[in-house]
């Protein structure tokens, strides 16, 4: 069984890619909705929750864990790997490496939470590319709240998204990296705002979820825990530390 967790429904953007690739697996998804958002929470709190959620997922039979949250990965995955040496953890990382290769303007925009953007993990990763590439970062202010409300298109979503996306475009970014798993649910609105502000030009938007799903499959193959594709379709169990209806309703849409 594959365990997946996030602060809320954002991890479902990763889960939908995993399910496409591995439909016969069984899943348990944990949404820490009672504590969402993680973005501005103290490090110690996120590490504590990551350990508690890991214990829960393992107690339910998870054999591998996807930390489907950039913030929890940036802050807690190192501690998780140290504390559970027998368990493989698949974490998220803003896709700045492919973006650095693809950009024509030499400017890459990154949208993520405060926790991710100030983490050592992110800063060390970015430092490998800063000789040739300029990075402009912005917190997706209010994005997580929009997604949790299911309010991902329309005038309110557009005005919230514009506040964070326009500075990236004005700074010359031709690529935007989505460094938080909630943000892909706002893709349509991010695209619309980008088109309005860079008329006639394409802004590429990178969601790392498909690459994470492929990596998970490789690791499971390596560990010998992949189910045979001849098995029946798998099942999913959903858990939420808050109101389960938000998660259940969102799950139906992926």
Of the pair 45, 201, the CB lying nearest ligand DGL is at 45
Q: Least distance from C-beta 9 to ligand DGL, angstroms? A: 9
Of the pair 38, 135, the CB lying nearest ligand DGL is at 38
> Would you say the C-alpha torsion 218, 78, 138, 132 has a positive or negative sign?
negative
Q: Least distance from C-beta 73 to ligand DGL, angstroms? A: 8
Q: Least distance from C-beta 198 to ligand DGL, angstroms? A: 25
Q: Which is catalytic among the residues 65, 99, 100, 180?
A: 180
How many CB atoms are located within 10 Å of the residue 243 CB? Answer: 12
Would residue 36 show up in a list of annotated catalytic residues for this protein?
A: no
> Would you say the C-alpha torsion 144, 146, 151, 152 has a positive or negative sign?
negative
Would residue 180 show up in a list of annotated catalytic residues for this protein?
A: yes
Burial of 57 (0-12, 13-18, 19+ CB in 10 A): buried
Q: Least distance from C-beta 220 to ligand DGL, angstroms? A: 22
Rg (alpha carbons) of the chain, rounded to whole number: 18
Contact 171, 145 (CB under 8 A): no
Residues that bind ligand DGL (CB under 6 A): 6-8, 10, 36-39, 69-71, 113, 116, 144, 180-182
Q: Which is catalytic among the residues 68, 69, 76, 169?
A: 69
Of the pair 39, 109, the CB lying nearest ligand DGL is at 39
Taking each helix axis from N to C end, the angle separating 155-170 and 187-197, rounded to the nearest 10 degrees, works out to: 60
Of the pair 30, 38, the CB lying nearest ligand DGL is at 38
Tokens coding 155? 């005038």
Catalytic positions are 69, 180
């Amino acid at each position: 069984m594959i365990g997946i967790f996030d602060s809320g429904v954002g991890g479902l953007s990763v889960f939908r890619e995993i399910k496409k690739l591995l439909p016969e697996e069984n899943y348990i998804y944990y949404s820490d909705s009672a504590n969402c958002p993680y973005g501005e929470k103290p490090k110690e709190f996120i590490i504590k929750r990551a350990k508690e959620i890991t214990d829960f997922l393992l107690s339910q039979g998870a054999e591998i864990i996807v930390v489907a949250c950039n913030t929890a990965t940036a802050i807690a995955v190192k501690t998780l790997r140290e504390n559970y040496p027998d368990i493989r953890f698949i974490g998220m990382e803003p896709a700045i490496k492919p973006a650095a290769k693809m950009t024509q303007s030499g400017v890459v925009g990154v949208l993520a939470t405060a926790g991710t953007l100030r983490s050592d993990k992110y800063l060390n990763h970015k430092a490998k590319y800063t000789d040739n590439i300029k990075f402009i970062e912005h917190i997706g202010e209010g994005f997580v709240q929009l997604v949790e409300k299911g309010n991902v298109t329309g005038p309110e979503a557009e005005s919230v998204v514009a506040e964070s996306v326009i500075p990236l475009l004005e700074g010359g970014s031709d690529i935007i990296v989505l460094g938080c798993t909630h943000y892909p649910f706002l893709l349509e609105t991010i695209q619309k705002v980008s088109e309005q502000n860079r008329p006639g030009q394409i802004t590429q938007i990178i969601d790392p979820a498909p690459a994470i799903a492929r990596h998970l499959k490789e690791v499971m193959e390596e560990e010998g825990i992949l189910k045979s594709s001849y098995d029946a379709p798998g099942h999913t169990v959903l858990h939420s530390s808050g109101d389960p209806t938000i998660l259940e309703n969102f799950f139906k849409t992926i």
